[in-house]
Amino acid sequence: MFRLVLSTVVLPLACLPSGAAAQAVQQSALRPAGVQAATIFSLWNFTLALCAAVFAAIVLALCVALWRAHKAGRAAGASPGLAPDLAPDLASLQQPERRVHRAVLWGTAIATVGLVMLLVADVWTGRMLARLPMNEAVKVELTGHQFWWEVRYPEEGVTTANELHVPVGRPVVVTLKSRDVIHTLWVPNLAGKRDMIPGRTTTIALRADQPGVYRAQCAEFCGLQHALMALPVTAVAPAQFARWTQARGKVAPEPATDSRRLGRDVFVRAACAACHTVAGTMANGTLGPDLTHLASRPTLAAGMLPNDRANLQAWIVDPHRFKLGANMPPSPLPARDMHALLDYLESLE
Amino acid sequence: MSRPEIAGPASPADPAEVLEQTWRDPPGLWGRLSAVNHKTIAARFLYAAFAFFVLGGILALLMRLQLARPDSRLIGPDLYNQLFTMHGTTMMFLFAVPVMQAIGIWLLPLMLGTRTVAFPRMNAFAFWIFLFGGVMLFAAFLIGMGPDAGWFAYVPLANADYSPGKRIDIWAQMITFTETAALMEAIVIIVTIFKMRAPGMTLDRMPLFAWAMLVTSFIVLFAMPAVMLASTALITDRLVDTHFYDPELGGDALLWQHLFWFFGHPEVYLIFIPPLGVISAIIATFSRRPMVGYRAMVLSLIATGFLSFGLWVHHMFATSLPELGKTFFTAASLMIAIPTAVQIFCWLATLWTGRLVLRTPLLFVLAFFVILLAGGLTGLMLASVSLDTQLHDTYFVVAHLHYVLMGGAVFPLFGAFYYWYPKFTGRMMSEKLGKWQFWLFFTGFNVTFFPMHIVGLEGMPRRVYTYPDGMGWNTINLGATIGAFMIATSVLLFIVNAWRSRRRGALAGADPWGAGTLEWRAASPPPAANFDVLPVVHGRYPLWQPAALPDRVAGIDPGLREVLLTSVTAAEPDHRMLMPSPSPWPFVTALATTVFFVASIFTPWAVVWATLPVAITATLWFWPRRSESEQRHQREVRP
Amino acid sequence: MTGPEKNGEEDERCLHVGHLPTFAFGHRSPMWWGTLGLVAIESTVFALVIVTYFYLRGLADAWPLSGSPPPDLLWGTLNTAVLLLSMIPNEMARRAAERLDLRRVRTSLIWCMAFSVAFLAVRALEFTALNCAWDDDAYGSVVWMMMGLHTLHLVTDMWDSGVLAVLMHTGPIDGKRFVDVSENAGYWYFVVGSWLPVYATVYFGARM
């Protein structure tokens, strides 16, 4: 059922070219599409039910208490005037109220049992999460930057940015690092979050069980553009994944047209190559995202803009118009160079 | 400046008049700067903290305006980041902690049956330091130097590489200001409670509010040093190139988080525990009976205080820590629910067996039940490591923390205001406006924050200045903005009510609610010396319980600032002491200290040269005046 | 609770306190509790900075980080001895104060000051023998932080003692002053007491 909804509604939506809908992928902890998220979701349901029951019971007890006290107050002659002229009931100071104390004790005991149940459920869930089978795991190295994601598949020899592809049904071990400040990887449909801490290496294991595009977003405040640091995670069938890694592993082809050739020269000559890599050319900067397969990516600027020519041009001219604080400087190129550069970049599939 | 010389019993003047002359603050501007009366200082604290609350609220409204629509360009990321940093910082450091301490400083001497607090000049100094710190923060914000790394200021984002400029230094120094004030207030409160209770008020008879303030003050004592150390290390990292948080040279980014949350989690409890005392006071009065389970309540407060130090790592479940350690912190986080449960059941039992008189203060307390309960339960969810990895840093946490802090602190605080306002001013607040305010607040609060739980689960992270369209978050965010304006309207109604009632409210009399604790024995508003006759206490509710003898203290000179000190546990009369007179030196010392703190942001050498004025002014503060010393010497009774 | 100066009925209603002393020492005095509060705060700071030291040490591969030698033992150890010895005049001052013996208080305060000056002088030498700078690495930072914090306490307490010594010599004198001397002595014990773990950490934390 879920798969049906996904494939009939969400995926076509995700393929729509319009800006908003291109990102209308899922980003929800309530619709798990992987085993880790599903396990946590079960714990959520259990906890929610238990807490809701406790909430209802206590609010009910409060209502009954108020009703009883209201009746007792009326019976004793509480007036609606300003000053409570009702004499205080000091009986409890003379003799201890054993029944009341017993009730409090019972309430506390029941609360304690509930808490122990929560603890057991949590520990059990933790063990389930730790038990994800790791055979044939795909290894990914994800490095956080202000404000984009560097993605490497060391075994497949793929380097890309701002897109993560995972095979459905195979575990993925993501090694998390950061180049600058703390970021957090969070793909709510697939797993809980994990921090990316400079000076430390962390890992998270996840597995997508249904194909789809799941949006991840940086969850740790990381500076000016923390809000605009997204990462589309695409889960595809293993065969498709293999094709994808193969394609992504190739170096950029020689430009086929004059315009593209000029574009490449612009790329290498202008500031671009200082920060960006296009495999197979002299551009091998590492400060910015690898652009070898830029044209195949769904979005620009870490999930922010749909990847089309107009957006690409606007982004190159003035990235800060979209993303104040991004490290990329504005590049107001002459029209001919810009045209050629765009031609070239669009050929990097 | 000099204290009016009153010959004491020789003049046949009315003793109440003599007391007033002795204890009131001197007139004039200089007199105001010299004020040390605990009610004057506490009222200033309250006004300042409330002003910061309103400012923090305005920041929140701006944020909500920005978030009302997706892809909004109303407020840019730079301003937005300052807004949420300032909002959190203001609400936590400049409102929540000081407002609770201020209520304590105002009420405790009255509740405990004494004339003033211990160390009244230090009390005044704490106020000035707090005020200057807050003013510095907002002044910086107004000239575009507002801190922007979050109220938690995680490194490396907050270090000099990623936050150049002075913004974070100002934030860190603001911490120093407010911590200094809070720590001093904690000492004032602890010593007042331990040494200045009326004779006969054993620890076992002390009002629960005083117990709550005592526990809170101890938490302050042990929690605040952590953030002071952390922020000092941050400042030295930024200004003189130390490497505490720099992983390249042996430092560690997580060290900051450990230190910060070692303070940060108890911080929540030191905001939330004083209201527990408020609630116990209000529920007992309006149920017309003593609290059920006094000792269980006291033990719960103490247990909460201890346990609050065992939770800090649950803010760090998404970092890389050993699993076993995390389970320990989950267990501790769940365990702290037990003392809270005990208290909730005791309140329920009190209501259940009581006779209800429903007034506005109680309404706010009842709302506390619903809202804090919800917040506590979502807290249990966050305590679970696995759930937390989904919920952490999302709007779910925003919802949770507002349920806990507004439900646990702001609702009872409004209740406290309605309850003690007649004591503060001598007049009642309008019940009608009060009920309007309450319902508007309650509704607005839930409209704003309840749906945030859902939008968090639906994937919306915290601290984002904008979000794209098509995520399914639009409606909830628009609703939250509307709710925020309902809350603002409600606060406005409160201000109107408080302002109008000052002149037009019904006269209150000493004890308008028929309450049982000592503060209601003093006139409303209380005279400068609080009590014409110092009381002797024979039970937990001295005004309810039948009179017993002796009922008053004799032998304290009304013509001098003399107080009675009692023993710590049994509150037996121990010795008498002359309290210090009004003095401008705390104010001047606070100015010198401010120069020290602010200058050290701009040049490390200020730590050297600016020490001198602080040392000199502080010395002059403590330097005894010959006349006073002689007076003390003449009437000396040696131990 | 006695003091029957007034007539009978008044007497029953009143708890007479006029005969009670006007100052007191030790835990009877609010000053003592205030000082204790201060000590609690400062102890927490020291405990946390020592925990920080070992936390950073636990993360490091080598300690001291850059392979520099640990601090030289001579001055620090000498200082520990001076500090321990300073407890003698300190205790004399405290006892004299509680006996209200002004003459003794004056002489012992002078001795205390002499010890403080000696200690600060040696402390200056200590800083030169730490074999690290605060901006070398995290090790240097935390060592300097610890030493700096303790020196700050030394300096403030020395200032306090100095002001008190002047006061006790010039007057005005009353009972409260003796309480101050007693509390000041109590605080000095804390300054000594907090030095021992700091000394152990700074000098042996890098040797273990």
What percentage of residues in chain C have a pLDDT greater than 90? 84
pLDDT tens-digit readout, A106-143: 999 999 999 999 999 999 999 999 999 988 899 999 99
Note the CATH number of domain A258-346. 2.60.40.420
pLDDT tens-digit readout, C46-66: 999 999 999 999 999 998 988
**Considering only residues 102 to 131 of chain C, which have any Cβ-Cβ distance to chain B shorter than 8 Å?**
none
pLDDT higher than 60, residue B294? yes
Of B76, B356, B457, the CB nearest to A324: B76
The model's confidence at residue A269, banded by pLDDT at 50, 70 and 90, is: confident
Q: Which two tokens stand for residue A193?
A: 């979050």
Q: What is the mean pLDDT of residues B577-597?
A: 95
Note the CATH number of domain A138-247. 2.60.40.420
pLDDT of residue B14: 84
A202-215 burial: b if 16+ Cβ within 10 Å, else e = bebbbbbbbbbbbb
Decide if C24 and B251 are in contact by the 8 Å CB cutoff: no
pLDDT of residue A82: 57
Q: Residues of A with CB below 8 A from B87's CB?
A: none
pLDDT higher than 80, residue C175? yes
pLDDT of residue C8: 59
Interface test with B, best of C10, C12, C39, C41 (most B CBs within 10 A): C41
Query: What is the C-alpha separation between B251 and A16, in angstroms, rounded?
Result: 48
The whole-angstrom distance between residue A169's C-alpha and the CA centroid of its chain comes to: 20
Segment holding B378, helix H or strand E: helix B360-383
Decide if B630 and C163 are in contact by the 8 Å CB cutoff: no
Interface test with B, best of C6, C16, C48 (most B CBs within 10 A): C48
Residues 6+ apart with CB under 8 A from C32: C25, C26, C183, C186
The model's confidence at residue B628, banded by pLDDT at 50, 70 and 90, is: confident
pLDDT higher than 90, residue C1? no
Same fold? A138-247, A258-346: yes
Separation in Å, CA of A310 to nearest CA in chain B: 19
pLDDT of residue A87: 87
DSSP string, B208-257: HHHHHHHHHHHHHHHHHHHHHHHHHHHHHHHHS---TT-GGGT--HHHHH
φ, ψ of residue A184 in degrees (nearest 5) = -135, 130
- Contact predicate B113/B535, CB 8 Å: yes
Decide if C45 and B246 are in contact by the 8 Å CB cutoff: no
Q: At what angle do helices B97-112 and B38-67 cross, to 10 degrees?
A: 150
pLDDT tens-digit readout, B228-255: 999 999 999 999 999 999 999 999 999 9
Separation in Å, CA of B209 to nearest CA in chain A: 19
pLDDT of residue C12: 82
pTM score of the predicted model = 0.94
pLDDT tens-digit readout, B397-453: 999 999 999 999 999 999 999 999 999 999 999 999 999 999 999 999 999 999 999
Asked whether the CA dihedral B79, B81, B82, B87 is positive or negative, the reply is positive
pLDDT of residue C56: 96
Q: What is the mean pLDDT of residues B190-194?
A: 98
pLDDT of residue C9: 62
Separation in Å, CA of A244 to nearest CA in chain B: 27
Q: Residues of B with CB below 8 A from A121's CB?
A: 384
Please provide the average confidence, as pLDDT, over all residues in chain C. Answer: 91
List chain A domain ranges.
138-247, 258-346
Q: What is the mean pLDDT of residues B115-144?
A: 96
Interface test with B, best of C44, C150, C170, C180 (most B CBs within 10 A): C44
Please provide the average confidence, as pLDDT, over all residues in chain B. Answer: 93
Q: Residues of C with CB below 8 A from B581's CB?
A: none
Separation in Å, CA of B477 to nearest CA in chain C: 41
φ, ψ of residue C37 in degrees (nearest 5) = -60, -45
Nearest Cα neighbor of A206 from A140, A297, A298 is A140
Nearest Cα neighbor of B526 from B37, B154, B139, B5 is B37
Q: What is the mean pLDDT of residues A99-112?
A: 94
Query: Is the backbone peptide bond immediately before C64 cis, with ω within 30 degrees of 0?
Result: yes
The model's confidence at residue A212, banded by pLDDT at 50, 70 and 90, is: very high
Separation in Å, CA of C136 to nearest CA in chain B: 8
Query: What is the C-alpha separation between A155 and A173, in angstroms, rounded?
Result: 12
Interface test with C, best of B577, B593, B637 (most C CBs within 10 A): B577
C129-152 burial: b if 16+ Cβ within 10 Å, else e = ebebebebbbbbbbbbbbbbbbbe
pLDDT higher than 70, residue B316? yes
- Contact predicate A277/A292, CB 8 Å: yes
pLDDT of residue A304: 87
Decide if A55 and B392 are in contact by the 8 Å CB cutoff: no
Separation in Å, CA of A59 to nearest CA in chain B: 7
Q: Residues of A with CB below 8 A from B252's CB?
A: 199
The whole-angstrom distance between residue A100's C-alpha and the CA centroid of its chain comes to: 49
- Contact predicate B355/B288, CB 8 Å: yes
Q: Which two tokens stand for residue B211?
A: 């117990």
Please provide the average confidence, as pLDDT, over all residues in chain A. Answer: 88
The model's confidence at residue A81, banded by pLDDT at 50, 70 and 90, is: low
pLDDT tens-digit readout, C97-151: 999 999 999 999 999 999 999 999 999 999 999 999 999 999 999 999 999 999 9
Q: Residues of B with CB below 8 A from C145's CB?
A: 232-233, 236, 242, 244
pLDDT of residue A14: 39
Q: Residues of B with CB below 8 A from C56's CB?
A: 244, 250-252, 255
pLDDT tens-digit readout, B364-386: 999 998 999 999 999 999 999 99
pLDDT higher than 80, residue A79? no
pLDDT higher than 60, residue A59? yes
C15 touches chain B (CB under 8 A): yes
- Contact predicate B203/B569, CB 8 Å: yes
* Three-point CA angle B479, A191, A177, nearest 5°: 105
The model's confidence at residue B7, banded by pLDDT at 50, 70 and 90, is: very low
* Three-point CA angle A165, A166, A167, nearest 5°: 130
Nearest Cα neighbor of B59 from B128, B147, B127 is B147
- Contact predicate B438/B496, CB 8 Å: no
Q: Residues of A with CB below 8 A from B476's CB?
A: none
- Contact predicate B437/B469, CB 8 Å: no
What percentage of residues in chain C have a pLDDT greater than 70? 95
Q: Spell out the domains of chain B, with CATH numbers in brackets.
A: 44-582 (1.20.210.10), 589-638 (no CATH)
Decide if B242 and C175 are in contact by the 8 Å CB cutoff: no
The one-letter code for the residue type at B536 is: V
Nearest Cα neighbor of B109 from B401, B598, B527, B470 is B527
Q: Please give the C-alpha separations between residue C163 and each of B470, B482, B629, in angstroms, as whole numbers.
A: 70, 60, 16
Decide if B465 and A66 are in contact by the 8 Å CB cutoff: no
Query: What is the C-alpha separation between B167 and B329, in angstroms, rounded?
Result: 34
**Which residue of chain C comes nearest to B245, CA vs CA?**
C138
B579 touches chain C (CB under 8 A): no
Pairing of strands A230-236, A212-217: antiparallel
Least confident span in A73-82, A203-212, B147-156: A73-82
The one-letter code for the residue type at B382 is: L
pLDDT tens-digit readout, C67-96: 889 999 999 999 999 999 999 999 999 999
Query: What is the C-alpha separation between A64 and A62, in angstroms, rounded?
Result: 5
pLDDT tens-digit readout, B325-340: 888 889 988 999 999 9
pLDDT tens-digit readout, A41-52: 999 999 999 999
Separation in Å, CA of B595 to nearest CA in chain C: 18
